[in-house]
Structure 1
Amino acid sequence: MKKTFKLDHPKIKVPRLVDSIKHDIKKFLKNERKKPLPEGVKYWGFDCKFGQSEETAVEVELSSLTSRIDDLVENRIMTVYVEITPKPMAR
């Protein structure tokens, strides 16, 4: 998932747009976790990049993704770039 979300819409308020971003991320993760695992793999892991744009995106932990979205909104930044790449993980 590579996506840039815009938080300026003439009819939809920012908190509702933030909720839809979080919902899209959760839906993507749920769909990826449903996929069959390759041989010898225990679970799906995810590499995440997050930032204001693709050029400024930095690697982050999946668990901190929603809090980072909230931080950008508090700073009145109107674009959010999220990149999530699934990878098979063995223990």
Structure 2
Amino acid sequence: MRKTFQLHVEGKNRDRVLDAVKHEIRKYIKRERRRDLPEGADFWDFDCQFGRTKEDAAVAHLSALTGLINGVAAEGGAQFYVEILAKPAKRTPRAPGEPQGADEDGMDDDGEEV
């Protein structure tokens, strides 16, 4: 998905437009995750970019997209650009002795330091 979303639509409530945009993005991600995985892949990973325009889009994590969208809406931005590309990926096994809930940044799933 490569798309520029407009937040100001004539005759529509801005909050409803924002909700519809988030729904469309979530629906796209769910659809991509349902696709069959190629041989040797464990899950679908996503390469994401976000910016006010296509030219100033920067790499963003999938889980940060909603917060970035809310930030643009809170600042009163008229539009934003989102690029989400699915790619097959393989999970890497955890090292022996590594805590089960820890991520690469040393934080567990609840955001607490391990």
TM-score (norm 1): 0.97
Distance 1:2 1:16 in 2: 21
Large movers: runs of 4+ above 4 Å: none
The structure whose residues are more often strand, as a share, is 1
Equivalent in the alignment of 2:25:
25
Counting only pairs closer than 5 Å after superposition, residues 54-65 of structure 1 correspond to structure 2 as 54-65=54-65
> Can you give the 5+ residue segments of structure 1 that lack an aligned partner in the other structure?
none
1:23 aligned partner, one-letter code: H
1:10, CA displacement in angstroms?
A: 1.6
Gap regions ≥5 residues in structure 2: 92-114
Post-superposition offset of 1:64: 0.6
Q: 2-side partners of 1:17 and 1:55: how far apart?
A: 23
Taking only the aligned residue pairs, the percentage that are identical comes to 42
Of structures 1 and 2, the one with the larger relative CO (CA 8 A, separation 6+) is 1
How many residues of Structure 1 are paired with residues of Structure 2 in the alignment? 91
Q: Quick check: 1:72 aligned with 2:72? A: yes
Higher Rg of the two aligned structures: 2
- Supply the distance in 1 between the matched residues of 2:20 and 2:28 (Cα, whole angstroms): 12
Inter-partner Cα distance in structure 2 for 1:31 and 1:74: 28
- Counterpart for residue 51 of structure 2: 51
